[in-house]
Structure 1
Amino acid sequence: MGFLTIMKKQKIKDKEIKCLLLGLDNSGKSTIVKGLQDITCETTTTTTAKEITPTVGFSIKSVTYSSYLINIWDIGGQKSLRPFWNNYFDKIDCLLWCVDIYDKSRINESMEALKRNLESVEIEGDIVIPVIILLNKVDLIDTMTDGNNNNNNNYGNTDFLSTYSFLEKEMVGNSKNNNYTIIQCSGITHLGLKELLVNIIIGK
């Protein structure tokens, strides 16, 4: 293999980013992946949540943005799969952690799962992985009518702000990994997804 061939392959490799997308079941991971595909392909179609099939096992999707090839490993969030999550951390450039911000009954469960996985990986490899926490489904909060919602699992803008502060404190408390970003987003409306792509590239 010639020197120029090696340099060309290295250049291509430098433009590739491997992202691991994790989160509890029904947090909207696959919808975010579909949304990223939509905005990078500049499609005009609108995706509904019912059209997205939850990931069973894992899937790998790729999007191109700003000359970077971003490979997203979307791993299922079912309880039976969570013990195997840390097997996918090898050689990743970024961890995307998806939180269903609309279901406050599972916020603690999600953050505990995130911390367990980060601690496990750091103990084994003594590494710090850039983390982007995706507060997904903010479109559901924005469309709520205050005072007319009787579901205690869901909440409005005031509770959203307190949850955002809680998540920041949780990550700051994880002193070994301060390389994190929190992004409000929606896989359905595509809110925050371009910001996500920019942050993935910045963290490369």
Structure 2
Amino acid sequence: MGLLITKLWSLFGSEEHKVILIGLDNAGKTTLLYQFLMNEVVHTSPTIGSNVEEVTWRNIHFLMWDIGGQESIRTAWQSYYANTEVVILVVDSTDRERLSTVKQEFYKLLQSQDLHKASLLVFANKQDIKGSMSSAEISKYLNLTSDKCLPWHIQGCCALTGEGHLHIIQEV
């Protein structure tokens, strides 16, 4: 984990960097976005289209695009890929029934030429819920170790408390 995060941050200067948050509906993307932005839980509703916020950390500016995950919106994900440096894939680690859909969408993402230089961060969200899949289980299911994958890291987290994802930022 440290190597990927260190590599990412070493590439970043003071200019703005594009990050997209994607995942199925109800995965916790918007909650994570506002935890990054304000370090607190914000009441959210399903994202129709996208939310965009600028997050600044240590003089690094990230333009973070939170893209809706409903089936009807997923077909438009690729229109957000241009100039993306980091993809954050948020997975609801309690939703075993839709993990195959996550995998299908993930493999579509890997085929995009717009993302061939991007790095991937997978958040296995909702780790606070009993019976959730571990990061290792999700990694194995998505086959993150394949040669076709972007530089990646997977991290268990809880969007509601900030556990896991805020830890990554504090490590750097």
Query: After TM superposition, is the score higher than 0.5?
Result: yes
Instruction: Look up the match of 1:127.
Output: 116
Secondary structure, counterpart of 2:128 in structure 1: helix
Instruction: Look up the match of 2:6.
Output: none
CA-CA distance at 1:75 after TM superposition: 0.7
CA gap of 1:161–1:117, structure 2 versus 1, over 3 A, is closer
After superposition, where does 1:49-198 map in structure 2 within 5 Å?
A: 51-119=43-111, 121-122=112-113, 125=114, 127-141=116-130, 155=131, 160=134, 163-167=137-141, 170-173=143-146, 175-197=147-169
For 1:80 and 1:126, locate their aligned partners in 2 and report how far apart those are by CA, in whole Å: 22
For 2:86 and 2:155, locate their aligned partners in 1 and report how far apart those are by CA, in whole Å: 14
Instruction: Look up the match of 2:34.
Output: 34
Unpaired segments ≥5 residues, structure 2: 1-11
For 1:126 and 1:134, locate their aligned partners in 2 and report how far apart those are by CA, in whole Å: 18
Equivalences, count: 161
Question: Bigger CA drift: 106-115 or 90-99?
Answer: 106-115
Contact 2:123/2:165, CA 8 A, preserved across alignment: no
2:58 counterpart of 1:47: no
Q: Percent identity between the aligned chains?
A: 24
For 2:165 and 2:117, locate their aligned partners in 1 and report how far apart those are by CA, in whole Å: 24
Unpaired segments ≥5 residues, structure 1: 1-11, 40-45, 142-154
More helix by share: 1
For 1:161 and 1:194, locate their aligned partners in 2 and report how far apart those are by CA, in whole Å: 16
Larger radius of gyration: 1
Q: Please report the RMSD computed on the Cα atoms of aligned residues, expressed in angstroms.
A: 2.5
Write the deviation string for residues 51-105 of structure 1: whole angstroms up to 9, x where unpaired.
2122111110111111111111011101111111111100011001010001111
For 2:51 and 2:150, locate their aligned partners in 1 and report how far apart those are by CA, in whole Å: 28
The list of structure 1 runs, each at least 4 consecutive aligned residues, that deviate by more than 6 angstroms after superposition, is none
CA-CA distance at 1:35 after TM superposition: 1.0
